[in-house]
Amino acid sequence: MKVSLNWLRELVELPSSVEALVDLLTLAGVEVEGIETRGVSIAEVVVAEIRESVQHPNADRLSVCQVDDGSGALRQIVCGAKNFKVGDKVPAALPGAVLPGDFRIKVGKLRGVESQGMLCSAEELGLPKGEDGLLILSPEAVAGTPLSALYSGDTILDLEITPNRPDLLSVNGIAREIGALTARPVRLFEPKDAAVVPAQSTVAVEAAGLCPFYSARVIRGVRVGPSPEWLRTKLESVGLRSINNIVDITNLVMLEQGQPLHAFDLAKVQGGVRVRLAGAGETLAALDGKTYALSPEHLVIADEARGLAIAGIMGGAESAVTPETTDILLESAAFESAGIRRTSRQLGLSSDSSYRFERGVDRAGVLSASQRACELVVELAGGTTEALQVGGEAVQGATPVVSLRLKRVEDLLGVSVASSRVEQILTGFGLHPSEGGWSIPTFRADLTREVDLIEEIARVIGMEAIPACTQARFSPASAVDRSYDRAMALRRTCAGLGLHEARSLTLVPEKPLGMAFTQVAESDQQRVKNPMIDDQVVMRPNLLHGLLKAVKDNGRAGVKSVRLFEVGRVFSKRMPEEFLHWAMVLCGPVTERSWRTAQGADADLFTLKGLVSAALGGAVTFEPQENPALALALTIKVSGKAVGHAGQLWPADGRALDSLAPIVFAEVDLGAWEKAAKEGVSKRFQEIPRFPAVTRDMALVAPLELAHARVEDVLKEAKEPLLAGVELFDVFTDPSGAKLPVDRKSLAYSLTYRTSDRTLTTDEVNAAHARLKERLVSQLGAVFRE
Amino acid sequence: MIEQQLEQLRAEAFADLAGVSDESALEAVRIKYLGRSGGLTAVSESMKSVSKEEKPRIGKLLNEVRNALTTALDERKAALLSDADRKAFAGVDVTLPGVAARLGTLHPITQLQDRAVQIFRRMGFALADGPDMETEFHCFDALNTPADHPARNEQDTFYFNDGRLLRTQTSTVQIRTMEKNTPPIRIIAPGAAYRRDEIDATHLAQFTQMEGLAVDEGLSVADLKGTLEFFFRELFGKDAKFRFRPHFFPFTEPSYEVDIKSTAVGSADRWLEIAGCGMVDPAVFDSINLRRKDRAFDPEKVTGFAFGFGLDRLAMIMSGVSDIRAFTDNDQRFLSQF
């Protein structure tokens, strides 16, 4: 909300500087979002009359003027403008003046001719931009008068009012707040006389739930015309346009009191005023020139024939006050905030009035605002007022009383506040001590509990007055701590393995990339009811969408090797609905090209398997998976339990992501991993072997389809006590058939033999090796190359 | 006779050695004199024919020659190796660039989040969490948000068909925690929150927050102030300047926003809003008690403070990132800078 400091100064003494006022308000919870300075406050700018103007001898575009600055002697000023004539009154900045933009005026020479100041345009003085050239002043202006007398300065603050403080949406309210914060007296804008409330309701309020109180007052014989200067200045200072004296008065009183008002042209009102719900299909042409389609949940002000206004939001065009209007009906009412908010939102229409009603208007102020406006109308537009017509209840019931314990103030704020100080603060805000506590003024409906009063005290004493306490408690680690630490350790391992951490959006398109790869059913997806854009419709079922999208985006950006991982939540309809996953994706060369080495091969499934094993630790195994959606597919297992998937995309899917290099990924459910890995509180140490190991190599020739895993299994199943390790060190095939039949492959293994209590003899090793080879022959039909 | 022979062998061997310029020539000299059929080997074999009287003298001479030759051979070999070593390194251009080691990175939000977690852990906070898909009760009702509050509208919040929603703030974790635990409580909860904001340089429909809650007997605004001042000084440096500006949130009272002087991150002097906080509103405790069907959070016995801040916004301020979308674009050229 915008507020003018000149306006405020009529009510309360302000701190000495704008900065001090801004700090005062900000630190009391009224945030200042903008500060705007208007008018001319520069001392050395005066009214000057142009007495003579001649062409500059050395410059076509300049003229040399002799001006009367009120000092008695003529002053010579060189000027570049063209829009003036001799005899015009214009602003002259004298030497010493500092114009906006820190522009300092001095005596100087312009193309060889002395200039003793500068004639100014509106813009150069910080005034709203007018016509091009000099600001031509009124012929009545007296030479030598400081310009600040003609264009008085003002500062406008743009305040952010929190929703709990509707009382601050008025000049009176802000002044009251400043008075309370500075302990200075406040004189509010108030009507001279109290309104006389009729004993009987005469206005038909048909929806009392939406309009608890309505008042209307007829004023006859008004002269509609322009507003006086002071009224226009006030409205324009906060960005409102002056329309005519009647409309301007309603706006002025709204800004002063916070109570929105509306004036109807009485000649357009047929019969009595009704406050009713709109009929189905009813439309209303509003003051903004648009016609609104209303429905029976919208409240309208109507006469006997038709709707006149959208209640509390905007008046109708038809019943508006015009220059021809002679009699007016002045409305001042209380509308319920929820109804106004709903209507405003549904119609997409908001106004200064709806803004205030949405936040809550003090019902007790309805009649005094009406009275204040009537007095101003009679004063500025003439006319005579008739008796008030009302509907509903003007008072909200008994004044609430809230109790306050000093001990509680100290307990909650951590500092003790003297009772005299508490009293000073609360009375400053308009509260009064009463039986059992503090009686709350009607305009502070937000104060209902002890804690609300304590907050008022906290706002005034400020955080500076409260000590900083640094005591803590011991806290045991929670299950969330342990899971956080495990995920962080995994992230760090991944970074150590050369992967970059990604963080993708949780909302993904309806058909996310890679759904088939991890075999997620569409029916398991959690779909948002009111998505904003097509790219963000379902809660991601896995992390692949984000990572595959990143492969595409990075590829397009020219990143050669994409190496990403992500740890994040994924969502499903299966319980527990939210799962923590880890995923990684690789695309492009494993090693970068350097002066030492050529660029390495592209990452493939085996690069991926190595990284997955390194990231998740020793107990990981991989099993071939039937998955036609992928070129190569594996199930990732930990301690025999499936925890995730790994795979390589079909090249066609890669091409769809603009990638020619293989794309490989892995995704693991960290919850399942955690359960399967069953980590203890600490790792157990294993004895380091003290006796040397012996290795024996073997190269077996087998059918192409024999899996390495099968060989490993056969060796494992042998339970050979001396066998300590099996390493596959070569895989050889020969498509030409020259060195090996085309349907065969050669697998070369290095077997390590060791026992923990002695050095093995050659005979022992040879015997063990022979036993294993024999087993491979009998079980797999292997043939050995010697 | 043998003496002369030995002297002659010695002279010949040293002459040969002088002419040696590589390791194979050196090995040839060793074989010629010390090998199985070498000169000195032959002489030592002829020692059998030497008389008993002369044996010690000749034997001593033989040893002397053999030792001298062996030593000379070893020295020559060491010298040759050293020469070769020097040559091997002489031409190395040490200004050639190092071979790039591949080091990955943690996401800037993760890094900031973890720093924050570590600082709060030093103050005795444990982690807590709650679901992204929340009930209206946990997101609004229990947090004292009026039924007609605009935030509940479908224009501002994502809903699911079953009436649940995507949490608009991590404050939901406060409620989740108090449902299951009793005071004292000291928790922090980093996590995602969602709002139907138009996406631009400073808004995403999804952002990362860090929530905190402490409930205990005797907690006051002083504890809130001490905790957040310590946290932000640890994060921004001990000279960082803050202010607590009274504000309004439905679930805390009194409520504050925390501003930091931007000079702490090296930009022009102004206040930047970085967090919201306050004392837990008694209405929040009341709704928890109602839910729990006990008085574990009796507002007359316990008080609490809560705080929350956006990690994306903090990371933007701290790293000078001007577009929030950079944090979810996953551009490796961006990620690898952190």
Q: Which pLDDT tens digit goes with each residue over A17-54?
A: 888 999 999 999 999 998 888 777 777 889 999 999 99
φ and ψ at residue B216, rounded to 5 degrees: -165, 175
Alpha-carbon distance of A189 to A154, in angstroms, equals: 20
Average pLDDT in chain B = 91
Residues of B in contact with A492 (CB under 8 A): 106
Q: Give the whole-number percent of chain B exceeding pLDDT 90.
A: 59
The stretch B80-106 carries a mean pLDDT of 89
User: Which of B96, B104, B189 has its CB closest to that of A498?
Assistant: B104
Window 587-616 of A: residues touching B by CB (8 A cutoff) are: 591-592, 594-597
pLDDT tens digits for A104-132? 889 988 888 999 999 998 888 877 666 78
- Evaluate the omega torsion of the peptide bond into residue A703 and state whether it is cis, within 30 degrees of 0: no
Alpha-carbon distance of B29 to B19, in angstroms, equals: 10
- Three-state helix/strand/coil letters over chain B: CHHHHHHHHHHHHHHHHHCCCCHHHHHHHHHHHHCCCCHHHHHHHHHHHCCCCCHHHHHHHHHHHHHHHHHHHHHHHHHHHHHHHHHHHHCCCCCCCCCCCCCCECCHHHHHHHHHHHHHHHCCCEECCCCCEECHHHHCHHHCCCCCCHHHCCCCCCECCCCCEECCCCCHHHHHHHHHCCCCEEEEEEEEEECCCCCECCECCEEEEEEEEEEECCCCHHHHHHHHHHHHHHHHCCCCCEEEEEEEECCEEEEEEEEEEHHHHCCCCCEEEEEEEEEECHHHHHHHHHHHCCCCCCCCCCEEEEEEEEHHHHHHHHHCCCCCCHHHHCCHHHHCCC
Does pLDDT of A176 surpass 90?
A: yes
DSSP state of A602: B
For residue A698, the surrounding DSSP H or E stretch is: strand A694-703
* In the block, residue with structure tokens 């939406």: A210
Q: Give the angle subtended at the CA of A687 by the CAs of A682 and A692, to the nearest 5°.
A: 150
- Nearest alpha carbon to residue B252 among B296, B210, B282: B282
The stretch B25-38 carries a mean pLDDT of 85
Distance between the two ends of chain B, CA-based, in angstroms?
84
More confident residue, B268 or A466: A466
Does pLDDT of B28 surpass 90?
A: no
- Nearest alpha carbon to residue A338 among A152, A468, A466, A211: A211
Q: Give the angle subtended at the CA of A611 by the CAs of A609 and A616, to the nearest 5°.
A: 95
Determine which of A98-112, A271-285, A420-434 has the lowest per-residue pLDDT on average: A98-112
User: Whats the size of chain B, residue-wise?
Assistant: 338
Alpha-carbon distance of A779 to A782, in angstroms, equals: 8
The stretch A392-412 carries a mean pLDDT of 89
Residue A409 binned pLDDT confidence (cut-offs 50, 70, 90)? very high
Alpha-carbon distance of A524 to B290, in angstroms, equals: 34
Window 116-135 of A: residues touching B by CB (8 A cutoff) are: none
The residues spanned by each domain of chain B are 2-90, 108-335
Tell if the CB–CB gap between A481 and B107 is shorter than 8 Å. Answer: no
Chain-centre distance for alpha carbon A621: 46
Nearest chain B CA: its distance from A338 CA (Å)? 7
Does pLDDT of B59 surpass 90?
A: no
Q: Give the angle subtended at the CA of A770 by the CAs of A764 and A773, to the nearest 5°.
A: 145
**Residue A287: what residue type?**
L
More confident residue, A426 or B22: A426
| Contacts of the segment B310-315: beta carbons below 8 A, 24+ positions apart | B310/B207, B310/B208, B310/B209, B311/B109, B311/B112, B311/B113, B311/B116, B311/B190, B311/B207, B311/B208, B311/B209, B311/B210, B312/B109, B312/B204, B312/B207, B312/B208, B313/B207, B313/B274, B314/B112, B314/B235, B314/B274, B315/B108, B315/B109, B315/B112
Residues of B in contact with A557 (CB under 8 A): 331-333
Which pLDDT belongs to residue A130? 67
Does pLDDT of B21 surpass 90?
A: no
Does pLDDT of A396 surpass 70?
A: no
Contacts of A6 (CB under 8 A, 6+ apart): A152, A154, A237
Determine which of A273-287, A325-339, A386-400, A438-452 has the lowest per-residue pLDDT on average: A386-400
Residue A724 binned pLDDT confidence (cut-offs 50, 70, 90)? very high
Tell if the CB–CB gap between B107 and A502 is shorter than 8 Å. Answer: yes
Strand A98-99 to A103-104 pairing = antiparallel
The stretch A156-181 carries a mean pLDDT of 94
Tell if the CB–CB gap between A412 and B114 is shorter than 8 Å. Answer: no
Q: What is the pTM of this model?
A: 0.84
Tell if the CB–CB gap between B104 and A501 is shorter than 8 Å. Answer: yes
Alpha-carbon distance of A367 to A197, in angstroms, equals: 8
Which pLDDT belongs to residue B121? 96
Neighbours of A566 (CB within 10 A): 25
pLDDT tens digits for A655-690? 999 999 999 999 999 999 988 887 766 778 888 889
Nearest chain A CA: its distance from B336 CA (Å)? 7
Neighbours of B80 (CB within 10 A): 16
In chain A, % helix, strand, coil (3-state, to 5) comes to 30, 25, 45
Nearest chain A CA: its distance from B102 CA (Å)? 5
User: Which of B204, B227, B332 has its CB closest to that of A559?
Assistant: B332
Alpha-carbon distance of A237 to A1, in angstroms, equals: 12
- Nearest alpha carbon to residue A329 among A222, A199, A257: A222
The stretch B175-204 carries a mean pLDDT of 93
Tell if the CB–CB gap between A459 and B246 is shorter than 8 Å. Answer: yes
Can you name the CATH fold of B108-335?
BirA Bifunctional Protein; domain 2 (3.30.930)
The burial of B209, by beta-carbon neighbours within 10 Å (0-12 exposed, 13-18 middle, 19 or more buried), is given as buried
Contact A431, A438 (CB under 8 A): yes
For residue A402, the surrounding DSSP H or E stretch is: strand A401-402
Residues of B in contact with A31 (CB under 8 A): 245, 247
Structure tokens at B286: 């009341």
pLDDT tens digits for B240-299? 888 999 999 999 999 999 999 877 777 777 899 999 999 999 999 999 999 999 999 999
Residues of B in contact with A497 (CB under 8 A): 104
Q: Tell me the sheet residues that pair with A725.
A: A752
Contact B206, B193 (CB under 8 A): yes
Alpha-carbon distance of B90 to A168, in angstroms, equals: 83
Neighbours of A489 (CB within 10 A): 10
List Cα–Cα distances, B272 to B246, B258, B275, B313, in angstroms: 15, 8, 9, 10
Does pLDDT of B60 surpass 70?
A: yes
Compute the radius of gyration of chain B from its Cα atoms: 42
Average pLDDT in chain A = 91
**Do the interacting molecules here have an ipTM over 0.95?**
no
- Nearest alpha carbon to residue B181 among A580, A476, A412: A476
Domains contained in chain A, CATH given? 2-36+157-182 (3.30.56.10), 45-149 (2.40.50.140), 204-392 (3.50.40.10), 401-465 (3.30.56.10), 479-677 (3.30.930.10), 694-785 (3.30.70.380)
- Sign of the CA dihedral running A403, A407, A409, A412: negative
Does pLDDT of A272 surpass 80?
A: yes
Residues of B in contact with A498 (CB under 8 A): 102-104
Nearest chain B CA: its distance from A411 CA (Å)? 6
| Contacts of the segment B293-302: beta carbons below 8 A, 24+ positions apart | B296/B182, B296/B183, B297/B178, B297/B182, B297/B183, B297/B215, B301/B217, B302/B183, B302/B215, B302/B216, B302/B217, B302/B219
Alpha-carbon distance of A215 to A508, in angstroms, equals: 54
Dihedral angle computed from the Cα positions of residues A38, A44, A50 and A52, in that order, rounded to the nearest 10 degrees? -140
The stretch A440-458 carries a mean pLDDT of 94
Which pLDDT belongs to residue B153? 84
pLDDT tens digits for B109-167? 999 999 999 999 999 999 999 999 999 999 999 999 988 787 888 889 999 999 999 99
